[in-house]
Amino acid sequence: LPQTLFFHEGRLLDREPKKVYVERTPDSVYLAKLSYDNSVPRNSDGSEIVFDNKKRDLSSPQYQKQAESRREKQQLIRTIQTYWAETEKKDPFHLAHQFNIHPITLKKYLQMTEEDLCQMGQPRNYKKRKTVMDDYLNIIFKIMQDGHPDDIIYFYLRYSGCDKNQKTVWSYIQTISKNNFSGRKSMHSNRLFRQVYPEDVRMIRRNRLLNYLLTVNPKTKKEHQIEEYLPAIKEKYPIVSETETIFREFHTIIMGDSPDDLDIFIHAYQDSPIDSFCQSIKRDIAPIKNAISHSISSGFVEGNNNKFKLIKRIV
């Protein structure tokens, strides 16, 4: 009998079903202690902190092509600046014509410093565009700035009412971290989830089933779920019916007043899987039979169950 039995739509499954991912249940008490709004983040002197929330795939063909174009332009500007510095007759119109650029562009190139040229090597930080996460971007940055991990940031946004797609929310958390907090340790999105069985799958563990089968106290409530699935379990696993039958026969003998029925029980099951149990009874059969014939308290419990517990101690 497996440790766990699985049922789907009333049918006993042959194997364990595949688990699915569901979002973890966050610590709402902890999240309630946090307090962040979407106001602009500021430095200690009150100046605005400008951060980058743009997602860039620097390995994509588009960005690779743009990077090559920037390098070519840097080289062109340095060549023009060197040529201008070394020529004696400085004629901007002639030089502009020579490099096939407008004189105004030439003037701008000649005025550029080395720092300006180095900045050209980086993707231009264009004005922020409107996104579906605009109401939460500043919150993400400020929580991250305070040192909270990615999962806390994600669940705080959910706690605050963010209903955007999980992948979208996680993508912005990762992007803001990558672009603004160099060296910060990011977290894999799998940490947001836990694996569970599908909601329409029902489980019955073996210890629950045995507890159901071996409980004869009428005051104990029966589990309706096990009662519903018991016929299917017995059909697939005959050992369940056999176990129930053996236990109830033994229980009836112990709670009865006919000690000789114990001999019949031992004879019937001495060659069965409970042979070792039968042998242990045979070794102490006299006191066990004596306990059956006397309906007295064992000194530990009251009622009919006392005799059964006394037998268990003897065996």
- For residues 40 and 84, state if they share a domain: no
- For residues 239 and 115, state if they share a domain: no
Mean pLDDT of 93-114: 92
- For residues 147 and 43, state if they share a domain: yes
Q: Using pLDDT thresholds of 50, 70 and 90, give the confidence band for residue 171.
A: very high
Task: Look at residue 58 in the predicted model and tell me its pLDDT.
Answer: 59
Structure tokens at 22: 């569901």
Task: Look at residue 88 in the predicted model and tell me its pLDDT.
Answer: 86
- For residues 280 and 243, state if they share a domain: yes
Mean pLDDT of 287-299: 69
Domain boundary among 195, 220, 245: 195
For residue 13, is it within any domain?
no
For residue 11, is it within any domain?
no
What is the count of structural domains for the chain? 3
- For residues 100 and 206, state if they share a domain: no
Domain boundary among 179, 195, 211: 195
Most confident segment among 65-74, 176-185, 215-224:
176-185
Q: How far is CA 148 from CA 141, 152, 187, 232, 303, in A?
A: 10, 6, 11, 51, 60
For residue 4, is it within any domain?
no
Q: In this predicted structure, which of 177-186, 210-219, 294-303 has the lowest mean pLDDT?
A: 294-303
Q: Using pLDDT thresholds of 50, 70 and 90, give the confidence band for residue 301.
A: very low
User: Between residues 300 and 45, which one has the greater pLDDT?
Assistant: 45
Residue type, 40: V
- For residues 249 and 156, state if they share a domain: no
Residue type, 281: I
Q: Using pLDDT thresholds of 50, 70 and 90, give the confidence band for residue 303.
A: very low
For residue 140, is it within any domain?
yes
The fraction of the chain above a pLDDT of 90, given in percent, is 62
Mean pLDDT of 269-279: 90
Separation between Cα atoms, residue 80 and residue 97, nearest integer Å? 12
| Overall pTM surpassing 0.85 (yes/no) | no
Q: Rounded to 5 degrees, what angle do the CA atoms 93, 95, 101 make?
A: 80
Q: Using pLDDT thresholds of 50, 70 and 90, give the confidence band for residue 55.
A: confident
Domain with 226 in it = 202-314
- For residues 46 and 133, state if they share a domain: yes
- For residues 245 and 226, state if they share a domain: yes
- For residues 96 and 229, state if they share a domain: no
